[in-house]
A and B are shown apart, each in its own frame.
Chain A
Amino acid sequence: MTLLRRQARAEVIESDICIIGSGITAALVAEKLVEERPARIVVVEAGDDTVPLAERSAHRARFVAYGESPWGRDHIDGMTADGIQSRSMQVGGLAMHWGGVTPRFSPEDFRVKSLFGVGHDWPVAYEELDPFYHEAERRIGVAGEQGPPGLDPRGNPFPMPPIPLTYNLALLKRWTDSAGIAMWSQPSAKNSVAYGGRAVCCRNDTCAPVCPVGAKYSPDFTWNALRASRRVELVPRTLVRRLVVEDGSNRIARAEAVRRDRGGANGSPVHFRARTFVVAAGYAWSPHLLLLSRSDRFPQGIANRSGMVGKYMTGHRNVFAFVKLPLRLYPGMNEQHSLVTKQFMRPSKLDRYVRHDLRVWESSVGRRPRLKGDDGAVLLGDALLADWRRRSTEGTARVRAYYDVIPDRESALTLNESAKNAYGDPQPRLTFRDSPESAALRAHTEDSIKALFQRMARAGNGEILRSGVDDFQDHPAGGCRMGDDPASSVVDSYGRAHDHENLFVVGAPTSVSGGCANATLTFLAVALRQATAIGRE
C-alpha cells in the first residue's frame, strides 16, 4: 500500500493522507476516512504500541494491589510539558487512560458571546454538530439516558441503553430531586450491552486508568481493526519533529520525523510525504509541532501568520464538596458512575454570569476505617471494625461542578528553550490564564456553586464535610483555535489551516472554549465534521 524507498539520508514514506498522532481523535478520523474513500493513509505515532487487552486484567491486578502503572512504557523520556499535561504518548494516546465519560457540551457552550455577552462564539453551532456527536457516540459506543429534551437536545437516541443507576445513585437522585435538580445517568463510553464486539461493563470500577475487560472504549480497538484490514499503516515509535513547507507555495511538503527504535541514540530519519497532512496530536503536541516547524520563511512556525498558534489554551475548573447525608449508602457499588445535570447551563440574562454542570457520585469520604478512636486510643480487633461500622451508618455524596472559564489570549503554549528532548527540540510550556472578564467572575462563580451545595445539603438534612476548588484547568484544549477570521484563528471550522491548504488540525486543539463538561465527545464531534472536509481533498 505504501511506497517506501530509500534515499541517501532519510527513509521516505509516501501516502495520500498522513495523520500525525494516534489518539482517540486520530483513530476516529482515520476510521471515517477509510470508510469514505480509497486512499493511502499513514499514521505516525511517537510512542510504542500499547498493552494488549488480553494482558490488562493482570496489569490491573497489580495496579489495584500496589498502584503500579498498568500501561507499561506509555511515555517517552524527555518528552513532557511544563504545565498540565498527562504522560501518555503511545498508540491510543491519553484515551487509553480516560474514564470514558462522554457528555455533550450544551448548545449554549457554542454561543456564549451571542447569548451572554462573554467570551467568544464558536464558528459552528450545536445543531450543526448534533449528527457528528451522534456519529461519535456510535463509533465509540456510548451508553446514555436521554435527559429532559429542553436541556439535553439530540437528533438521535444513544446507541446503547444507559448504565443503570446504582442503588446508591437512585437514593441520591431522590435527594437531588428534593433539592429541585433534575439529574440523570451520566453518558459513558462503556458498554451497557455487548457492543462493537466488546464485553459488557462488569463494574470493576477501575475505568480510569484501566478497564480489564474492554467494556470501556479505547482507541486501540479502532487501530487494531484498521491495521488488521490493512487499510491504514500505523508507524509507531516515530516522532514527527517538524513540518516543512514546499518551496514556492504554502503547501506542506513533508513531515520530518525520527524513528526512535532505529539508528541508535539519534534515531533514524524518516520523511513522510503526503498530499494532505492531518495534525491530530492533542492540545499540547499539535500547537507544539506547528511552533517547532519554524524556519527562515516561517519564523513564528507554520500556520501562524496570525500569531495565534499556542494561544487561547482553554479548559474548565471545578468546585467540589463532600456532603454527609442521612442515607444508608454502600460505597463501592460503582464508584465511577454518576448523576449529571445541565440545569445550570442557562443563566438568566438578568443574573450575573455563572454557568456550570453538576455531577453527583457515591463516596466513602468520612467513612473509612481509622486507627484511633475519638479518645485517641489505638483500635485493634473487633474495636476497629465496630468503630468503622458506627461511622458508616450514614452516607456521603461527592458533588462537583465544572464551570466556564473564558480563556485569555495569553493562556498559551510556548516553546521552553531550557527544556529539550533527546533530539534537541524544545518542549512545550503551558500557562493557563483566565481572561479579565473571567477572572472578575471567578469569586462570584465559586461562591454561587458553594451556595448551591449548601442548599442541596440542607434539602437532604445533611451537611458539607468539606469543599474546595481544584485550581487547575481540566480537560485542556485549544492552541489551534478555529474561526472564520484568519487574523484571530489558526484553522477554519473544518480544521483547515488558514495559511496552508493541505494542512488540517483536528479535535481538541481547535476548540474555542472549554465548556462546562468533560470534553472528549465534543472534540470527536468537531473532528468528525472536520474529517468530512479532509475526505473531500
Chain B
Amino acid sequence: MERVRGPRAILAAIATPSQRSPNAALIQALGDAVLPVELGAGGVTRAVAEFQRWMDGYNPGAEANHGYGTGRIGQLPADPRPQWRSQLAALDADARRTGRPFSDLPRERRQALVRAALHNERGDALPNPLLARHVALALLAHFYDSPAATDLCYEAQIGRQQCRPLSAQRQEPVALVRNGR
C-alpha cells in the first residue's frame, strides 16, 4: 500500500532546491525579457523566483488528478527540466555568437532570440506549463496562470483561487494598487 505523504514532506519537496533547475542568472535574464515591464523589477524577480520554486518542487510521474467520470489513472509528464536547461544554454550560445552572453544582451535582442525560438509554437493559448516545449513558454505560462497575473490583467484585486472572505464576493473587486502591492 502506498503511503500518503504528509504536509511536511510535501512542503519540504516544494521548498528544497533540487539542483536540477536551469541556471538562475540565465532564467532571470529570460524573465526580464519576456515578462511585462509593468511588473517592475521586483515583480519580475518574484515571478522568476516562483517559477524556480515551482520547477524545484515538481515530481515527475506523480499520479495526476483523475477526472470525473473516467476510470483512467494518469501520471504527470516526464521531467521537462533537462530540456529547458538545454534550451537556456542554447539561447546563451546563440547570444555568445554575437559576442555577448544572453544575460548581457539588450532586452530587445534577448526578445528577438526568444521570438525565433517560439516561432513555431501554437499561438491561440498558453499551454499547461508542464507541457511547454520551450523554457520561455513555460515561464510565460507559469506566470500568466498565476492569480497575480489575473489581477494585473484586470487591474483589480480578484485573488483567484486564494482564500478570501465569502461576503466580499458581492462587491466589485477593488482596484489594484500600482507599485504598492
Give the interface of A toward B (CB within 8 A): 48, 51, 54-55, 57-59, 61-70, 72-73, 75, 80-82, 84-87, 97, 163-167, 170, 192, 200-206, 208-209, 213, 237, 261, 330-334, 368-373, 376-378, 380-382, 384-385, 388-389, 392, 472, 474
Q: Which residue of B lies closest to A373 (CB)?
A: B123
Q: Is B111 interfacial (CB 8 A cutoff)? A: yes
| Segment with Cβ contacts to A, from B19-27, B28-36, B94-102 | B28-36
Contact of A381 with B33 at beta-carbon distance under 8 Å, contacts A67-B128, A73-B2, A332-B161 already known: yes
Contact B150 A331 (CB under 8 A): yes
- CA A20 – CA B154 in complex, angstroms? 50
Instruction: Give the contacts of B1-43 with A (CB-CB under 8 A).
Output: 1-2, 4-7, 10-11, 14, 33-38
Contact B166 A67 (CB under 8 A): no
- CA A389 – CA B140 in complex, angstroms? 16
Instruction: Give the contacts of B110-141 with A (CB-CB under 8 A).
Output: 111, 114-115, 118-119, 121-126, 128, 130, 137, 140
Contact A380 B65 (CB under 8 A): no
Contact B65 A63 (CB under 8 A): yes
Contact A164 B170 (CB under 8 A): yes
Contact B118 A69 (CB under 8 A): no
Q: Is B179 interfacial (CB 8 A cutoff)? A: no
B38 surroundings in chain A (CB, below 8 A): 382, 385
User: A411: shortest Cβ distance to chain B, in Å?
Assistant: 16
Q: Which residue of A lies closest to B121 (CB)?
A: A371
Contact A59 B10 (CB under 8 A): yes
- CA A167 – CA B171 in complex, angstroms? 5
User: B173: shortest Cβ distance to chain A, in Å?
Assistant: 5
Contact of A87 with B64 at beta-carbon distance under 8 Å, contacts A58-B11, A68-B76, A380-B34 already known: no
Lowest 4 CB-CB distances: which A-B pairs, in order? A372-B123, A332-B160, A58-B7, A72-B4
- CA A69 – CA B158 in complex, angstroms? 26
Contact A167 B170 (CB under 8 A): yes
Q: Mark B58-88, 1 if CB is under 8 A from A, else 0.
A: 1100111111111111001000000000000
Contact B35 A261 (CB under 8 A): no
A237 surroundings in chain B (CB, below 8 A): 1
Q: Is B153 interfacial (CB 8 A cutoff)? A: yes
Q: Which residue of A lies closest to B167 (CB)?
A: A164
Sample 14 A-B pairs with CB under 8 A, ordered by A number: A54-B7, A65-B14, A68-B64, A97-B68, A330-B154, A331-B150, A333-B173, A371-B126, A371-B140, A380-B34, A384-B36, A384-B144, A385-B152, A392-B154
B137 surroundings in chain A (CB, below 8 A): 371
User: A197: shortest Cβ distance to chain B, in Å?
Assistant: 18
Contact A378 B170 (CB under 8 A): no
- CA A334 – CA B118 in complex, angstroms? 34
Contact B65 A86 (CB under 8 A): no
Supply 11 further A-B pairs (C-beta < 8 A) apart from A58-B6, A164-B169, A369-B126. A68-B62, A85-B71, A202-B166, A331-B160, A371-B140, A378-B114, A378-B121, A381-B34, A381-B107, A388-B144, A388-B153
Contact A201 B166 (CB under 8 A): yes
Contact A378 B118 (CB under 8 A): yes
Q: Is B165 interfacial (CB 8 A cutoff)? A: yes
A388 surroundings in chain B (CB, below 8 A): 144, 153
Contact A167 B173 (CB under 8 A): yes
- CA A363 – CA B59 in complex, angstroms? 30
Contact A66 B76 (CB under 8 A): yes
Contact of A205 with B160 at beta-carbon distance under 8 Å, contacts A167-B170, A370-B125, A380-B114 already known: yes
Contact A170 B66 (CB under 8 A): no
Contact of A67 with B37 at beta-carbon distance under 8 Å, contacts A202-B165, A330-B172 already known: no
Contact A164 B166 (CB under 8 A): yes
B54 surroundings in chain A (CB, below 8 A): 65
Q: Which residue of A lies closest to B171 (CB)?
A: A167
- CA A279 – CA B111 in complex, angstroms? 63
Q: Mark B155-167, 1 if CB is under 8 A from A, else 0.
A: 1101111111111
A86 surroundings in chain B (CB, below 8 A): 66-71
Contact of A380 with B161 at beta-carbon distance under 8 Å, contacts A58-B11, A192-B166, A369-B153 already known: no
A65 surroundings in chain B (CB, below 8 A): 14, 54, 57
A84 surroundings in chain B (CB, below 8 A): 69-70
B68 surroundings in chain A (CB, below 8 A): 86, 97, 208
User: B43: shortest Cβ distance to chain A, in Å?
Assistant: 12
B158 surroundings in chain A (CB, below 8 A): 330-333
Q: Which residue of B lies closest to A383 (CB)?
A: B36
Q: Is B149 interfacial (CB 8 A cutoff)? A: yes
- CA A528 – CA B80 in complex, angstroms? 51
- CA A284 – CA B70 in complex, angstroms? 13
Contact of A380 with B33 at beta-carbon distance under 8 Å, contacts A164-B166, A205-B161, A334-B169 already known: yes
Contact B69 A474 (CB under 8 A): yes
Q: Which of A213, A331, A388, A472 has the most CB of B within 10 A?
A: A388
Q: Which residue of B lies closest to A213 (CB)?
A: B163
User: B6: shortest Cβ distance to chain A, in Å?
Assistant: 6
Contact B167 A57 (CB under 8 A): no
